[in-house]
């Protein structure tokens, strides 16, 4: 009996990564289906929810949907970690980065910002997330940059 158990355990452990991979892919597919059914404003929240943070802060993808540019950041607080994030949607200009929209949060969760893209011309956009620690230090994270016209 003990000899049988010794041989069964590696089989169970070997099957575990395959089971988890199946679960993760089905969960990812469900999340993708749910995001397609959401409204334009909710899309920023749905895409920002993919930001992986265990303890700290993260930045989501910057993207355009019709006439709006969206950006997002997520804060996950823990003892001795970050206490506040500030999310800025920015556009590249000849003098540097121009902030178009700002949002902040001091509790766990997501911050989404959007900018109504109007006028003419082609610009490069990005999202900047600034995380403030208990000791007063600030760290920055940046999203992808992309060029688009309005």
What tens digit of pLDDT does each residue of 19-38 get?
A: 444 434 434 444 444 344 34
Q: Are residues 15 and 81 in the same domain?
A: no
Residue with the larger pLDDT of the pair 140 and 21: 140
In this structure, what CATH number is given to the domain that contains residue 86?
2.60.40
Domain hosting 120: range is 40-149
pLDDT score at 2 = 46
pTM over 0.75: no
Same domain assignment for residues 11 and 49: no
> Residue 28 has what pLDDT?
42
Asked if 124 and 144 touch (Cβ cutoff 8 Å), the reply is no
Domain match, 17 and 45 both: no
- Backbone phi, then psi, for 134, in 5-degree steps? -60, -35
Specify the number of domains making up the chain: 2
> Domain check: are 132 and 145 in the same one?
yes
**What mean pLDDT is predicted for residues 1-10?**
43
pLDDT tens, 51-85? 555 778 999 999 999 899 999 999 988 877 888 99
Regarding predicted confidence, which is higher, 71 or 11? 71
Tell me the per-residue pLDDT of 77-126, one tens digit each, with 9 for 90 and over: 887 788 899 999 999 999 999 999 999 999 999 999 999 988 888 999 99
Same domain, 63 and 8: no
Q: Collect all residues with Cβ–Cβ distance below 8 Å to 43 and sequence separation of at least 6.
A: 35, 65, 70
Tokens of 138: 């600030």
């Amino acid at each position: 009996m003990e000899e049988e158990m010794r041989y069964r355990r590696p089989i169970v452990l070997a099957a575990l990564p395959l089971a988890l991979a199946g679960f993760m892919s089905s969960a990812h597919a469900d999340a993708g289906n749910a995001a397609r059914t959401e409204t334009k404003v909710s899309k920023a929240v749905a895409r920002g929810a993919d930001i992986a943070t265990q303890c700290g802060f993260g930045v989501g993808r910057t993207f355009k949907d019709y006439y709006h540019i969206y950006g997002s950041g997520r804060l996950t607080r823990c003892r001795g970690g970050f206490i506040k994030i500030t999310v800025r949607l920015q556009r590249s200009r000849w003098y540097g980065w121009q902030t178009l929209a700002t949002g902040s949060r001091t509790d766990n969760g997501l911050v989404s910002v959007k900018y109504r893209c109007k006028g003419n011309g082609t610009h490069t956009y990005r999202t900047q997330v600034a995380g403030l620690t208990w000791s007063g230090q600030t760290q920055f994270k940046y999203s992808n940059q992309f060029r688009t016209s309005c």
